[in-house]
Amino acid sequence: MTQSHQYKWIFILLTFGLLFATSCEEPVDLDIAIQEPQIVVNSNFAPGQPFRVSLTKSKNVLTTEAEEFVNNAVVKVFDPQGVELDELRLINFRTPYYESRSLSPESGKVYRLEISIPGQPQIIAEDIVPLPVALKAIEMDTIEIFGEVDERIYKVEIDVNFEDPIGAQDYYHLSLYNHIDDGSMESMFDGDGPNDGKKRLAPLMPLESDKANPAVTFHYEDGGVLFTDEDFDGQEASLKFYSLLSLNNEAHKGKVVGELRTVSKAYYLYHTSLSRQIANKDRPFVEPISVYSNIENGLGIFSGYAQYRDSVSITASF
C-alpha cells in the first residue's frame, strides 16, 4: 500500500469517527419529577408541658436554603371523640412554633392533631401519652482513673433498674445527664442539655452500652438509648452503661441524673429510624433508611411520652 493510500484510509476512519462522536453528543432529556414541598410536623408532647408543634416545608436534600417555617396555619388539638380541646397560638420567635394556651397532655390519653393551611389538604395525626414507669435505682461505680490529681478523668459504670409492666409491648428512651452545679463538674464532650435554673443537665457522652443489655439504638440528639421490653416483658430491667467524667473540684459536687421516658410506638419508630439515618449519613454504600412518619397529608411526627427522673450523687469517695 502506497503512502497516499494510507493517508486516504486514515482520512476515511477519522471522518467516520467524527460522525459517530457527533451522534453521541445529542442531548438527553432526563425526566426527573420535581416534587412539591410537603408540610413537616414536629411535635413530641408529655404531661406537665404545653403542646408545641413546629411546622416547616420539606426541601431538597441538596439545597442550601434556610428552613422555611409555616406561620399561617390553624392548629387544633382534639380528643378521640372529636371534641376540640384547644387551638394553639403562634409563638413567633426566631424559630416559630405553635403552643397550647391552657392544655397539658395527660398520661393514658389519646390526642388528635388537626392542621389547616390555605391551599393545603388538612393535616391529621393521632397518638397516645403512655403511662410513666418509675426508675427503681441508679448506682454508679468508678472503674478506672486517668491523669494527674488536678485533672483526673474517671471511667464510671452506671447501673439503671426499673420494673417493666407486664402485657403490651413497651417502648423506652433512657438518657443520662451530668447535673452540673456551680461549675464544679464537667463531662467529657458535653452537649447542651435541659436547663434547671442555674444548674445544667449535660448529656453523658460518650455513652457505651454493656453487651448484656438488650439491643439499643443511640439517640441522635442527647446520646441516650432507645429500646423495647421485648427481652424482659413484665420483669425487672437492669441496664449497664459506661461513661467518662472529668471532676475538677475536691468537693465533687453534682449528680448523675437518669431520665426514663416511656414512649409511644410512633415516638420509638420515628426516633430510631432518624437516629440510624443520621448515623449512616457518611456511609455512602449503606442502604438509605426511610424515616418513619405518622402524619396524614404531610411528613414528620406527633408523638407522646411520659418521663420519670432519678439521680445519684457524685461524692468525694471518687
**Predicted pLDDT of residue 13:** 47
**Predicted pLDDT of residue 56:** 97
DSSP 213: S
- Do residues 185 and 253 lie in contact, with contact meaning Cβ atoms separated by under 8 Å? yes
DSSP of 216-281, one letter per residue?
A: -EE-TTTS-EEEESTTTTTSEEEEEEEEEEEE-STT---EEEEEEEEE-HHHHHHHHHHHHHHHTT
Pairing of strands 299-313, 39-45: parallel
- Do residues 142 and 252 lie in contact, with contact meaning Cβ atoms separated by under 8 Å? no
**Cell 405518622 belongs to residue:** 294
**Predicted pLDDT of residue 249:** 53
**Predicted pLDDT of residue 18:** 46
pLDDT (tens digit, 0 to 9) for every residue of the chain, 318 residues total? 544 455 444 444 445 454 444 444 455 454 445 568 899 999 999 999 999 999 999 987 556 678 899 999 999 999 999 999 999 999 998 899 999 999 999 999 999 999 999 999 999 999 999 999 999 999 999 999 888 777 788 899 999 999 999 988 999 999 999 886 654 444 433 333 444 444 578 898 889 999 999 999 999 999 999 999 999 999 999 999 999 987 665 445 678 999 999 999 999 999 999 999 999 887 877 788 899 999 999 999 999 999 999 999 876 444
DSSP 296: B
Burial string for 32-68 (b: 16+ CB within 10 Å, else e) reads: eeeeeebbbbbbbbbbeebbebbbbeeeeeeeeeeee
Separation between Cα atoms, residue 224 and residue 172, nearest integer Å:
10
Q: Give the residue from 6, 66, 18, 75 showing the smallest Cα distance to 42.
A: 75
Structure-block grid coordinates of residue 63? 439545597
Evaluate if pTM is beyond 0.85: no
The answer to whether the peptide bond before residue 118 is cis (omega within 30 degrees of 0) is no
**Predicted pLDDT of residue 316:** 46
Domains in the chain with CATH codes: 39-128 (2.60.40), 135-291+305-313 (no CATH)
DSSP 138: E
